[in-house]
Chain A
Amino acid sequence: MWRLLYLFLILCSTVVAQNKPLLFNVDDLPQTLMSNPGAQINFTGHIGIPFFSQIHISAGSTGANLYDIFAEDSGDINDRIQETMRSMDSRDYFSVNQQLEVISLGWKLDRRNYLSTGIYQEMDLFAYFPKDPAILVNEGNSNYLNEPFYFDDVSFTGEIVTVYHLGINHKFDKRLTVGARAKLYSGVFNVESTGNTGRFTTYTTPEGRNVYNHEVVDLNVLVNTSGFAPLKKEANMTVEQATAELLSRSFFGGNVGFGLDLGLSYILDEQFILSGSVQDLGVVFQRKEVENYRYFGSYETSGIEPLFPDLDENDQAIPYWDIFEDEVDRNLRDRTTSESYTTWRPVKANFAMEYGFGPAYLPCHYLSEKKVRYMNLLGMQLSGVKRPKGFVYTFTSYWDRKIDENQRFKLSYSLDDYSLTNIGLMYTRTFNNFNVYLAVNNLLAYPNLAKAHSASIQLGMQLVFNDNNN
C-alpha cells in the first residue's frame, strides 16, 4: 500500500499541476471529482443543471496587465508598450482557460463505488511572450545591431475540445480512496507552435563588404493547425463568427483523443489527509482538417551587387532583384502540408495535505462510513500545469470551513507566477438537494481588474443527493 502511495506522490510531485484549486478536495461538490477522481466525497448522487453545473473561466498574464498599457494620463501609449515589452521576457506568458459542463451526473453504485460521467467543453490558450520577434516588429533592428533575435521565443498552444468522460471513485478501505476517469476527447480546433529554432542578426561589418551583414541561421518554425483550414475558406469571417463556428462543431469535431485522470486520497491518521491527482494524461490525434506551416533555412546577405555589364540600349538589364529573390526563396523556404500530428493535453496535477480539527457532528456524517470529518480543514496544495517550456506552478494554502450542514466556504492564499497576493474564496450552499457554488480567485484585484495579472471564477448549480442509508 505504501509503495503505491509513494509511487503516486512521486508522480504528482514531478508533474505537479494546477487547475481550479478552490474546488479541489471540496467533498460536498461533485466537481471535486473532476480534479481528483479519488477524492473523498460526501454525497450519493448528483445531477448537474445542463450547461450550468460548472462555468469556469480564468485568464492571466504574468508580464503585463491592462493598466501597464492603457493607464490614463500617463503619456504616450506607444512608449508604455515599448517599455512593457522590454521589461517582459520570453518566459512570461498569457493564458486563457474556459470550461463549460454540458452534462454532469453521478450515482453511488454500492458502499464502495461512485460512478460519475458527463460532457464538458474546454478552451485552452497558452502563449509565451515572443519577445525577440515582437521587439523586431515593434522597434526594428536599428537599436539591436549585433544582437540576435531568436525565433525560439515563438511558442504557443491553443485548443478547443469536447470531453466525454466516465469515472469511478473507489473506497479501497477506511483510509484509502482511489479513482480514475477515462476521457474521450473530440478536438474542435488546435494550433501549436513549439520547439522552434532560428535567429536573425544584423551584424555591423567594419571590415566587410557593406555596412551590415544580415543573417538568418537555422530557421525552423512550424505551426500545426487542425480545424483551422475550413475557417480560412470563409471570406470576411470575423473573430466572433469564427468562434461561433468552432463552438458549433463542438460535438462533431472529428479529431479524436484519449486520456486518463488518476487520483487518490489517504487518511494518514484521524486528522491528516493526503491527496493527489493527475489530470489529462492524454493525447489527441490531429488527423482531419490539418494544415502545417513550416518556415526553414539559413541565409545571409550584405546587399545586391551590380556588375556594370557592357550593355547597349537594346540589351536587357540584368534582373538582379529576381536573382536575389530566387536565392532567398531557395534558402529560406516555406512549406504548407497536411501531415497528421499528435498533441499532448496539458497535464495537470495536484498534491494536497490537510489537517482537520473541530470534530463535526453533522447528521450526514454521524452514521456514515466516512467518520473522519471536521468542521475545519487547514490545507496546503501544490499544483501545476505542463506547458511547452516547463511546469507552471501554484502553491495554495487554505482554510476550508463547514459553516453548517448546508454551507461551506474555503478561503485560500496562493503564490503563483501572476501574483503574490492571490486570495481566493469559495462558497457553496445547498437548499434541500439544490446546490449552488461560487469560487473566485484573486479577490484583492477585483476593485480594479485593470491592475490584475489574473482572474478566475467558477460557478455552477446542480442537484446533489446525500442518502445516508445507502
Chain B
Amino acid sequence: MKFFSTFLTKIISLLAISVSLCACVKDVDLEQREDIMLGPQVQIDLLIYNIDQSKFMDPETGDLKTRISDTVRLAFLDDDYIQKDLTSVEFYFRHINTFPREIESKIRFLSNENSEQFAVNYTIKPGAEGKPVTTERYELIEEERIDLVRRSIKMVVELEVQPGATAFQGELDFASKGLFTFKF
C-alpha cells in the first residue's frame, strides 16, 4: 500500500512537472498580426434617374433644351475610410434609352472647389418607343489614380441631345453603382 502511494505521488509529481515544463506556445508567428487587414469589397448604389422629354423642355419657351445637368454631392467621399483606406473603385453606369437620338453623357467628378478630377464620357445609343437600347460603361480607378476619387466630392451628370430629324420623345433610365475596395 505504501509502495502504491509513493508510486502515485511520484507519477503525479512527474506529470505536474512535465506539464509545467512542456506548456508552451509554438508553431505560430505572432508577428503576423502586423499584416492583418480587413479587405471588404462593397457594392454601393450611386445615382438613379428616369426622365422623359419634359425634362428637356424649356419651361418658359417650350423649346427643346439640348443640354441638361445636375450635381449631387457625395459627402461620404470625404469620410476617413475613403481618404485613408480606399484602394480601388470600379464604377458602373448604365443608360436604357427609348429616345430615338444619340445622347452624349458626361459624368464628371469634381472637388470641393469644382475642379474636375476625372470624367467618364460616352455616347448613349438611340432607341425607339418599345425598343429600349442599353448602353453600359465601366470605369476602373485603381490604386495609382485613387487620389482622384479621394479628392472628389461632387458627381455631375450631364446629358446633351444630339441633333436629329425624328421627334424627341421617349425615356432615359440611368443606373449607377460603385464597387469600392478597401484595405483597413
Give the size of the chain A interface in residues (CB under 8 angstroms): 58
Contact B28 A71 (CB under 8 A): yes
Among A213, A320, A427, point to the contact of B16 (Cβ < 8 A). Answer: A427
Tell whether A320 pairs with B73 under 8 Å between CB atoms, given A138-B38, A142-B179.
yes
Contact A137 B35 (CB under 8 A): no
Q: How far, in whole Å, are A303 and B15 apart by their CA atoms in the complex?
A: 66
Tell whether A142 pairs with B8 under 8 Å between CB atoms, given A308-B69, A448-B27.
no
Contact A209 B43 (CB under 8 A): no
Give the size of the chain B interface in residues (CB under 8 angstroms): 55
B150 at interface, CB cutoff 8 A? no
Q: How far, in whole Å, are A113 and B29 apart by their CA atoms in the complex?
A: 55
Q: How far is the CB of B73 from chain A (nearest CB, A)?
A: 4
Taking Cβ atoms with an 8 Å cutoff, the residues of A that contact B are: 66-67, 70-73, 76-78, 81, 136-143, 145, 202, 209-214, 301-310, 317-321, 325, 401, 403-404, 407, 409, 425, 427, 438, 440, 443, 446-451
Q: How far is the CB of A146 from chain B (nearest CB, A)?
A: 11
The 10 closest A-B pairs by CB, nearest first: A140-B40, A303-B45, A306-B70, A142-B41, A70-B28, A140-B42, A446-B23, A140-B41, A321-B73, A77-B32
Q: How far, in whole Å, are A305 and B77 apart by their CA atoms in the complex?
A: 17
Q: How far is the CB of B92 from chain A (nearest CB, A)?
A: 7
Contact A212 B38 (CB under 8 A): no
Contact A403 B8 (CB under 8 A): yes
Q: How far, in whole Å, are A191 and B126 apart by their CA atoms in the complex?
A: 61
Q: How far is the CB of A404 from chain B (nearest CB, A)?
A: 5
Q: How far, in whole Å, are A451 and B40 apart by their CA atoms in the complex?
A: 28
Binds A, one of B49-57, B97-105, B116-124, B139-147: B49-57
B-chain residues with CB within 8 Å of residue A71 when the two chains form the complex = 27-29
Contact A304 B43 (CB under 8 A): no
User: Would you give the 0/1 interface string for B28-48, flagging 1 where the beta carbon is closer than 8 Å to chain A?
Assistant: 111011011111111111111
Q: How far, in whole Å, are A443 and B46 apart by their CA atoms in the complex?
A: 56
B22 at interface, CB cutoff 8 A? yes
Q: How far is the CB of B36 from chain A (nearest CB, A)?
A: 6
